[in-house]
């Protein structure tokens, strides 16, 4: 009798081991290709055909929008021509003769996925789409996207227009370093000003991830019949920043949630710091002779395998005249790994220093 109970107990334990799926098992996703990386270290946390060359649809506009911002996109009004906005597919509603700012074009690309906005940007930056595609590919090489070739600024299908999940993750990580890009792509609604005459519009972001959690950041959706559903997103949680990409994914929203649920616990964070602390800024004519410098934002660094080995350079003003106010920019710290700059963080005044009475 005792022997039977022992055998039954062992059998039950065995069945539990066989049929219970461990909580750390990799998720099954619908995407043909997918990847999750640490935004800072670029280490891969999950990969499925991540180096497979595939069309990436409107996620292409991440590069177009980034180049627009890097070429000084602002609120200055520009008049677009019929040629600039003559393109099929999704649109922010531009017509030839409309006045629009480059910054509104960026909003139109990232929020409305406007092909007209992408095309107009190419013309305004480079004169036409062909030289702009060369600029896109030059920037891609700088980022390390060595398995990518851009042909169109919008992501409309074209021979030789392709990327990989991993390369698009590198692009996503680079793009969200730009404060303006990050602000726009993570917004549920943005205001834009264009038309003939121009008037204010409210553009609504249809990225469902933004409604699921405040931890999600855009970044960009995409779809064509050839590419299927494509999505580049980012997650910022507990000091960690991760980038996920799915290409040709029928259930992309579900894929990204499952990928982050699996990958977030695998990522680690460390805070970058200066070994001997931060210097003080000399203040002339103030109630106090100096003020301490502090980082303007957190210096968290996301990694997976091993902590980063880094060096740094501190740049701070020699002095400043009073008054100096808390949060005033007074310098920066550049962080380097293997001799290459990977992060720059502004230094600001820790408190007010008022004029000496």
Catalytic amino acids? 58, 61, 113
Which residues share a beta bridge with 333? 314, 345
Query: How many other β-carbons are positioned within 10 Å of the β-carbon of residue 338?
Result: 8
Q: Are 220 and 242 in contact (CB under 8 A)?
A: no
Q: Collapse the DSSP code of 251 into the 3-class scheme (helix H, G, I; strand E, B; otherwise coil) and give the result.
A: coil
Where do we find the tokens 């301490």?
292
134 burial level (CB within 10 Å; 0-12, 13-18, 19+): exposed
Confirm if 347 and 329 have CB atoms less than 8 A apart: yes
Residue 10 in 3-state DSSP?
A: helix
Contact 234, 39 (CB under 8 A): yes
How big is the CA angle at 172 (ends 115 and 272), to the nearest 5 degrees?
150
**Kind of pairing, strands 280-284 and 319-321?**
parallel
Of 227, 58, 62, 240, give the one whose Cα is nearest residue 155: 58
From 177, 163, 237, select the one nearest 40 (Cα to Cα).
Answer: 177
Contact 136, 232 (CB under 8 A): no
Cis before 197? omega within 30: yes
Could you tell me which residues come within 8 angstroms of residue 155 by beta carbon, excluding any fewer than 6 positions away?
55, 56, 57, 58, 59, 60, 61, 115, 118, 161, 222, 224, 227
The answer to whether residues 204 and 111 touch, using CB atoms and an 8 Å cutoff, is yes
């Amino acid at each position: 009798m005792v022997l039977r109970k022992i055998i039954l107990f062992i059998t039950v334990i065995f069945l539990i081991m066989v049929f219970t799926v461990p909580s750390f098992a990799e998720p099954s996703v619908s995407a043909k290709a997918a990847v999750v990386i640490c935004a800072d270290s670029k280490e891969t946390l999950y990969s499925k055909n991540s180096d497979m060359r595939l069309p990436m649809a409107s996620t292409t506009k991440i590069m177009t929008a980034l180049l627009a911002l890097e070429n000084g996109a602002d609120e200055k009004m520009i008049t677009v021509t019929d040629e600039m906005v003559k393109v099929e597919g999704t649109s922010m509603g531009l017509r030839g003769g409309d006045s629009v700012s480059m910054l509104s074009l960026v909003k139109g690309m990232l929020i409305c996925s406007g092909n007209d906005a992408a095309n107009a940007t190419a013309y305004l930056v480079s004169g036409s789409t062909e030289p702009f595609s060369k600029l896109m590919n030059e920037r891609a090489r700088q980022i390390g996207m060595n398995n990518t070739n851009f042909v169109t600024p919008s992501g409309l299908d074209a021979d030789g227009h392709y990327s990989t999940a991993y390369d698009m993750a590198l692009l996503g990580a680079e793009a969200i370093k730009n404060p303006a890009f990050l602000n726009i792509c993570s917004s549920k609604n943005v205001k834009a000003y264009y038309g003939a005459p121009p008037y204010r519009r409210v553009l609504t972001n249809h990225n469902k991830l933004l409604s699921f959690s405040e931890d999600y950041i855009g970044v960009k959706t995409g779809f064509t019949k050839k590419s299927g559903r494509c999505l580049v997103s980012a997650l910022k949680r507990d000091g960690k920043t991760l980038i996920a990409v799915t290409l040709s994914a029928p259930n992309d929203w579900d894929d990204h949630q499952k990928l982050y649920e699996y990958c977030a616990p695998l990522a680690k964070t460390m805070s970058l710091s200066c070994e001997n602390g931060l210097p003080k800024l000399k203040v002339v004519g103030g109630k106090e002779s100096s003020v301490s410098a502090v980082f303007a934002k957190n210096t968290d660094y996301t990694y997976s395998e091993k902590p980063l080995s880094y060096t740094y350079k501190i740049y701070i003003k020699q002095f400043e005249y009073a008054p100096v106010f808390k949060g005033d920019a007074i310098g920066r710290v550049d962080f380097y790994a293997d001799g290459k700059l990977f992060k720059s963080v502004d230094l600001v005044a820790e408190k007010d220093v008022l004029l000496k009475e």
